[in-house]
């Protein structure tokens, strides 16, 4: 079977959930026997997401092969239950870099290099490379129709579709706002965004509307008529409590079969039992676990999206529901933490909010609260222990570059003059020490997890911390770097240098998060029994 492509564009406004729609359809088709790949085209000029602020653009999702990518790649992986590569994230910065490098090496044989056709051709090449070896490729275009920076991608898509109409399908997602004064859903913004799309030579095969309440029959007819699509191809994505419901809601509207009919896809029968069981467990969970994420970037929930989703995956395994609160570490009040069953201190950069994170870690350690530290969270857990248990005067070199006592110091191969793509990125080995908590959790001697950091623990302090009760339970065998610490006096106090949230999938929750929620659940039930 020749590989097919499904393109997904968006109109009216950003953050419509194009990535969730793509991920949901990808999961449906994968369940029905197709080999799926996915990619995101981001129109910004950054080469990747690595230097972008999480407050501006959400978290940086790191692939196993070390790519710093858009957060939608995380959605794809979590829904599909498979790892993607750095090639799944394409930016205008990458496109222009590739073209200019080819020009400098004489790759264009003296031709005048232009946006048309050379930028278009590079975009088409990257898309087609991602299709190789797969039955179906999803291509999501970031931003909205009408953005000037998106035009090269849309022109490239127009050319791909024109070259092979039968093997390409385009879905356009558009917002249908609810005018609360009259209770009306207004279809005009959708009509205008489709008109803009068609002015670029692209006609959508399907429209997926984002709306708070269901469209009426007349509203569906209006969208179909003015947007030149079949009525049955006007699909609704109504707001839901849980994004993992969306695949089955799309299935209910036969979206997968409609696309399969158009693209002549051979689908195997699937009851999607794994998805159905997940939704069933979510709907029937009654015990609520309260989890605090104490971090720096709490202004934007997407800054910690992989962490929050990993918590949800683990809650499903433990058959509980979770209330997740993002708490700014810049003005933390310990009183605010007393009602939580679990606390997470995630990664971050810079000195803002460091004192609040240290106070949080100290509180969790001293009060036996189920605790997970991630990346900077591990480094600060070490500083807390060294300072408050071992009475050492130590510092973090990022916070004080001239420190004479850096217990956390810059890795030898790091160059602070070149920030993009130069951190320790992607999967690295971690040897687990026998009879430790993490060895029992992972049930393995050697694991691989994803990293994104420049600083590491200074091993010269290892002996004094061990003598005071801290356990170094995970070590990178190649470079002798500390990967995991645990405090065995507590029920669950674990901190890791890597990012376990990045490998968590909807139906393959990360073991550390499973154990964190399991510990919090046990603590919650014990409190209930004691208060009964």
* Residue in this structure with the two tokens 């092979």, named with its chain if needed: 164
Closest CA to 507 of 210, 272, 329, 198: 272
* Residue in this structure with the two tokens 């699509």, named with its chain if needed: 229
Q: Round to the nearest angstrom and report the end-to-end CA distance of the chain.
A: 63
Name every residue whose Cβ is closer than 8 Å to that of residue 197 and which is 6 or more positions away in sequence.
Answer: 9, 11, 145, 154, 172, 203, 204
Per the DSSP assignment, residues forming a β-bridge with 209 are 174, 236
Closest CA to 507 of 15, 7, 31: 31
Say what angle helices 376-388 and 354-366 make with each other, to 10 degrees.
Answer: 70
Report, in angstroms and rounded to the nearest whole number, the Rg of the chain calculated over CA atoms.
Answer: 25
Going from the C-alpha of 54 to that of each of 44, 64, 343, 353, the distances in angstroms are 15, 20, 21, 15
Going from the C-alpha of 40 to that of each of 138, 202, 206, the distances in angstroms are 8, 19, 19
74's enclosing H/E stretch is: helix 71-80
Q: Is 370 helix (H, G, I), strand (E, B) or coil?
A: strand
For residue 117, is the peptide bond before it cis, meaning its omega torsion is within 30 degrees of 0? yes
Name every residue whose Cβ is closer than 8 Å to that of residue 532 and which is 6 or more positions away in sequence.
Answer: none
CB 75 within 8 A of CB 23: yes
Per the DSSP assignment, residues forming a β-bridge with 426 are 451
170's enclosing H/E stretch is: strand 168-175
HEC sequence for 199-253: HCCCCCCEEEEEECCCCCHHHHHHHHHHHCCCHHHEEEEECCCCHHHHHHHHHHC
Going from the C-alpha of 73 to that of each of 305, 363, 467, the distances in angstroms are 12, 35, 43
Q: Which residues are the active-site residues?
A: 375, 499, 501
Render the burial of 91-102: b for 16+ CB within 10 Å, e for the rest: bbbbbbebbeee
Q: What's the rounded Cα separation, in Å, for the pair 419 and 415?
A: 7
* Residue in this structure with the two tokens 């009919």, named with its chain if needed: 261
Instruction: Extract the tokens encoding 173.
Output: 């997602």
């Amino acid at each position: 079977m020749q590989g097919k492509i499904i393109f997904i564009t968006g109109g009216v406004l950003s953050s419509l959930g194009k990535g969730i729609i793509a991920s949901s359809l990808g999961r449906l088709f994968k369940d029905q026997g197709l080999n799926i790949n996915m990619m995101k085209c981001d129109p910004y000029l950054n080469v990747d997401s690595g230097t972008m602020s999480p407050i501006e653009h959400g978290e940086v999702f790191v692939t196993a092969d070390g790519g710093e990518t858009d957060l939608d790649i995380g959605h794809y992986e979590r829904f599909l239950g498979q790892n993607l590569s750095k090639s799944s994230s394409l930016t205008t910065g990458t496109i222009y870099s590739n073209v200019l490098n080819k020009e400098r090496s004489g790759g264009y044989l003296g031709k005048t290099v232009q946006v048309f056709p050379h930028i278009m051709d590079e975009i088409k090449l990257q898309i087609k490379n991602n299709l190789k070896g797969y039955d179906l490729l999803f291509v999501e275009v970031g931003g909205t129709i009408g953005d000037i920076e998106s035009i090269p991608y849309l022109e490239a898509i127009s050319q791909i579709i024109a070259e092979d109409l039968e093997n390409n399908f385009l879905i356009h997602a558009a917002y249908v706002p609810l005018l609360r004064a009259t209770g009306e859903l207004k279809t005009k913004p959708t009509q205008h965004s489709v008109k803009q799309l068609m002015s670029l030579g692209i006609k959508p095969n399907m429209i997926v509307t984002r709306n708070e309440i269901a469209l009426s029959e007349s509203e569906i007819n209006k969208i179909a008529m003015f947007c030149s699509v079949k009525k049955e191809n006007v699909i609704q994505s109504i707001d839901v409590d849980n994004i993992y419901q969306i695949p089955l809601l799309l299935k209910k509207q036969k979206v997968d079969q409609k696309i399969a009919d158009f693209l002549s896809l051979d689908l195997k029968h699937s009851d999607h039992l794994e998805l159905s069981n997940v939704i069933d467990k979510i709907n029937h969970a009654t015990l609520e676990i309260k989890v605090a994420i104490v971090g720096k970037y709490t202004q934007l929930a997407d800054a910690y999206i992989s962490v929050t989703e990993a918590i949800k995956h683990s809650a499903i395994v433990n058959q509980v529901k979770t209330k997740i609160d993002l708490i700014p570490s810049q003005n933390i009040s310990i009183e605010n933490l007393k009602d939580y069953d679990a606390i997470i201190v995630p990664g971050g950069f810079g000195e803002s909010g460091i004192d609040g994170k240290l106070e949080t870690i100290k509180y969790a350690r001293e009060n036996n609260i189920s605790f997970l530290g991630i990346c900077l969270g591990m480094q600060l857990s070490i500083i807390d222990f060294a300072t408050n248990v071992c009475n050492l005067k130590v510092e973090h070199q990022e916070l004080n570059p001239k420190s004479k006592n850096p217990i956390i110091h810059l890795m030898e191969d790091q160059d602070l003059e070149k920030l993009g793509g130069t951190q320790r990125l992607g999967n690295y080995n971690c040897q687990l020490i026998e009879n430790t908590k993490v060895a029992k959790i992972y049930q393995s001697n050697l694991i691989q997890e994803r990293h994104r950091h420049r600083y590491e623990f200074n091993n010269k302090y290892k002996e004094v911390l061990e003598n005071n009760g801290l356990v170094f339970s995970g070590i990178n065998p190649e470079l002798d770097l500390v990967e995991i610490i645990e405090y065995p006096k507590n029920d669950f106090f674990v901190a890791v240098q890597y990012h376990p949230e990045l490998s968590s999938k909807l139906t393959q929750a990360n073991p550390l998060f499973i154990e964190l929620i399991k510990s919090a659940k046990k603590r919650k039930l014990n409190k209930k029994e004691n208060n009964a």
